[in-house]
Amino acid sequence: MDDVVDINAMLHLVGDFSRYQFLLLFLFSIINILSAFHYFGQTFIGVVPEYMCSYASVNESGPEVRQIGSCSVVVNRENHLQEIPCLNGWSYKSPHDYVSIIQEFNWICGLEWIPSLGQSIFFIGSVFGSLIFGVLADKFGRLHCLVASNTIASIGNLITVLSKSPVTFVMSRFIAGCATDTNFVMMYIIVMEYIRPSMRTLGLNLIIGVFYCLSCMAVPWVAVSLGNWWLFLSVISLPNLLIISFYLYVPESAQWLISKGRTEKAIQCFKEIAKFNSRTIPDKSIDSLKFYCEEHVNVFTGKHENLLGLLRTPKLRRKTLILIFKSMVMTLCYDAISRNVDGLAYSPFVVFTITSSTILPACIFILATQDQVGRKALASGALFASGVFTIASGIFQASIEKPEPIVILTLAIIARLSINIAYNSGAQYAVELIPVVVRGQGVSAIHVAGYAASFFSPQILFLSTFWKPSPDVILGTLLILGSIACLFLPETLDKVLPVTLEDGETFGENEGIFEFSFLKKKKTASTIELVK
C-alpha cells in the first residue's frame, strides 16, 4: 500500500497543534499546579519554628526561674539550681506567624523523629507508587492511572489533616507519597504523544516553566496566607479530586491502545480530536493506519511485555541502563544542591521562593535550544556545564574564610539554575526513548531509581566536615560522568519514536557518539552551498 499512514501521520491529519492540543496544554498546566503543591506542600506542613519553654511550664509556685531553654527550665530550689524538663507548654516564634504541624502537636524536644519519619515515609511511598502505577499504566492505560494517582494524593493528604497520632500521620504520608510522580508523568506522556514532535519542547517546557515555577514560588505564601498547616493541606488537596473530570476531555494514549491491539479505540480517539479541531479523516487514511498497525505493531501484541523486556536485548539494555544512571545522577545532585542552601540567614519561605524562581529561566533556555541542538547535545551539555560549575562553586566557597550570605545565596541560585536545565531537559528525553509498550513502567522505574539515589545526598553533604568542597567535587564529578554517558544515547529529535521493544533495540543504532543533530543541519547546509 502506498503512502502508509503511521501514528504521527494520522496525528498530522487530525491536527497536531490546534485547538485540541491547546486544551490538553491547559489541562497539563492544572496538573503542574497540583503536583507542585502536592510535592512541596510536604515541606511546608513541617516547618520548624523557633521555640522556648513558656513560663507556664513551671507548675510550682515557689521556685525562682533562672533560665528558660528550648526544652528545659533551670530553677532555684532551696538555693540549688535544678534543670527540669519543659512539659506544659512552649512559646513559638514562627516565620510569618504560620502554625506548622510541629507547633500544633509539639513534636519537639525528643519528638523530632515524627515529622522526619513522615517525610521519609512519603518518599518511600513515592517509590512504591511509581513502580505499581507504572505496571498498571502499561496494563490498564495512562488515563486511569492519572486519575487514580491524583485521587490518592487527595485522600492521603486529607487523612493527614485528620490524623491525631504519629502512627496515623506516618501512614497517611505513605499514602500521599504513592501519588508522587505518577500524578504528573502520566499527563506528561499523554500530552507529549498528541502534540506535533517539533512542538513538544515548546508546549511541554513552556507549561512547566511558567506554571510549575509560579506554583513553587507560591507554595510558601499560600501556606502563610492560610495561617496553619491543616487548612493549607486541605485547600491544596481538594482540587486533586477534580481530575476525575479529565475522563470527559483527555483521551487515552493512542500509541498505548495500538500497542495493545486496540486499533479501533485508537482510531476513535483520533476521530474525536479531528472533530474538535474541525478536521475530517479520509477513509483511506483510516484503512492505511489499520494496515500499518497490522504490519508493524499488532504482530507483537500477543506478547505481554514488562519492564524486564528493556533489559532482555543488548542494545536496548544499554540505553535503559544509561537512562537509569542519568536519572540517578540528576536526582541525587538536584536534591543535594537544594539541601546546600540550608543555613542561610534568611526565612526558609523566602529562600525557597528565590531558588524556585530558577525553574522558569531554565525552561526558557531549554525552549530556545533543545529543538535547535537536539536532545542529546543539550542533555550532555547541560550535565557537563552543571558539573563544572558545581565543582568550581565548591572550591570558591572553600577558599573564602567568611563569605557573605548574599554571595552564597547567589551561587546557590546559579547552581540551582544549571541543575534545573539538566534535570528538565532530561525528562522528555527519557519518555521519548522508552518504547510505548513499556513506557509507563520504564519511565516510572527510571524515576524511582532517581528517588532511590537521593538517599545518599545527606551522606555526601556530610563529607564537608572532612574537606569543605568535597560534596561539590563529588557531585560535579557525577554530573560530568552523566554527561559522558549521554553521548552513548541516540537522538530523538524529529524522529518516529519506538513503539515496540524491537523498535527500541534498533532505534538510533546507526548514530555515532559525537553525532549531534545541530551538526547534521550545518553539514546539510554546507553541502547545499557546494552544490550551488
The pLDDT of residue 527: 39
The H or E element containing residue 82 is strand 80-85
Locate the domains of the chain by residue range.
50-93, 302-532
**Residue 351: is its pLDDT beyond 70?**
yes
For residue range 53-82, what is the model confidence (pLDDT) as tens digits? 876 555 544 456 667 777 888 877 777 777
Interatomic CA distance for residues 101 and 48, integer angstroms: 9
Residue 137: which of 245, 292, 260, 239 has the closest Cα? 260
Its pTM stands at 0.78
Mean pLDDT, residues 457-464:
74
Q: How confident is the model at residue 526 (pLDDT cuts 50, 70, 90)?
A: very low
Distance of CA 254 to the CA centre of its chain: 24
DSSP 252: P
Q: How confident is the model at residue 405 (pLDDT cuts 50, 70, 90)?
A: low
Residue 329: which of 209, 422, 208, 445 has the closest Cα? 422
Residue 74 in 3-state DSSP? Answer: strand
Higher pLDDT, 150 or 76: 150
For residue range 409-460, what is the model confidence (pLDDT) as tens digits? 677 677 778 888 888 777 778 888 888 888 877 887 887 888 778 767 767 8
- Residue 240 identity (one-letter amino acid): N
CATH architecture for segment(s) 302-532: Up-down Bundle (1.20)
The pLDDT of residue 150: 97
For residue range 293-349, what is the model confidence (pLDDT) as tens digits? 887 665 445 456 677 888 888 999 999 999 999 999 988 888 777 666 444 556 778
